Amino acid sequence: MRKTLIILLLVILTSSLFVYGIFKGGNAKSISMEDVKNFLLYGSTGDKFKDILIWKIRIPPLITAIIVGAVLSVSGLKLQTLFRNLLASPYTTGISSGVVLGVAITIFLGFSFSSFLGVSDYVVGGWIGAAIALVIILFLASKIKDVSGVLVCTLLFGYFYYGIESYLINFADNVQIQEFWMYLQGSFSGTGWEDIKLMVVCSLIFLISSYLLSKHLNALLFGENYAKSFGLNIKQVRIIILFLSGFIVGVVIPFVGLIPFIGIASPYIARILMKTSDHRWTIPASMLIGMVISLMCYLVSIKLFAPRVVPVKSILDLLGGLLVVYLIYKSEKNMAL
């Protein structure tokens, strides 16, 4: 009963932040709470300008924040269970580094994919980088027996990707460097409804698949040897978890840039709130907490220094950095899965 109540409260908090984001999610003060109510209940405020403002300007970044928060949180939860390390995150696998490398090559070498699926060059470049990184990590997962060895290799490949980016930056002009820097800061505001439709489909596939893996993930909580004793194919499960996490990070991150720490913070908070590591509860809890954190950081980023917008990554770096220090400080007592 307690766990169900917490899930319900998180749903209410997420919904409240979403409604508040429509009401206050911008510098224009022309939207009233009555307009928000009419739009959500009846599909229109009665004013064409307000309808366009809500539908095309205010709702897309809120939906994007919800999607990103949900998938990064669940991905982080699964990877923490797989690697048995509460500091593991969606970026641990090196997929995000592959995305950034793909974007860097697109910007610095001037590649153009403007006719590809109607999405930006950044996104296509990020997808290509993610696909290459995903192939590498799946190959490592199939060849290396110890999961810790997989973790070390993925981290080293991340440094390798960063080295290539540094080389490209040295030969880039100031405009390209500025363009790349702005991408790295992360933003929920650059997505349209076509982008969101693709992210929603991929996210639903990821989230449903993740929940169906709850039983296998629970077995991994006790270690790979325990899981093997119950007939679990460790290598197969490892590849599935890494594939799903790499897939969703590779799809979503190219649209929004780097969004750090949500994948670390949300699972940690979920375990505290739910007082269990059972994935049947921590998956939905992590998903909702990720949505809440993502929405809150987005709203802070656009309201804190309005009309100037602070990058979402800056907010998350400040909050996430403090959280990681806390996790390390409390590691001996509180970091068991």
Q: With beta carbons less than 8 A apart as the criterion, state whether 186 and 125 touch.
A: no
Of 44-58, 126-140, 142-156, 272-286, the least confident: 142-156
pTM over 0.85: yes
Tokens of 287: 């998903």
Higher pLDDT, residue 16 or 25: 16
Q: With beta carbons less than 8 A apart as the criterion, state whether 71 and 206 touch.
A: yes
User: Is a pLDDT exceeding 80 seen at residue 230?
Assistant: no
Domains present along the chain, CATH in parentheses:
2-334 (1.10.3470.10)
Helices (H), the chain: 2-24, 33-42, 48-52, 59-83, 95-108, 121-143, 147-170, 174-184, 193-212, 214-220, 224-229, 234-256, 262-274, 279-303, 312-329, 331-334
User: Is a pLDDT exceeding 90 seen at residue 285?
Assistant: yes
So what's the pLDDT on residue 336? 53
Distance CA 102, CA 100 (A): 5
> What percent of the chain has a predicted confidence (pLDDT) above 70?
92
Work out whether the CA dihedral 94, 100, 103, 108 comes out positive or negative: negative
User: Is a pLDDT exceeding 60 seen at residue 333?
Assistant: no
Distance CA 34, CA 171 (A): 54
Distance CA 193, CA 199 (A): 10
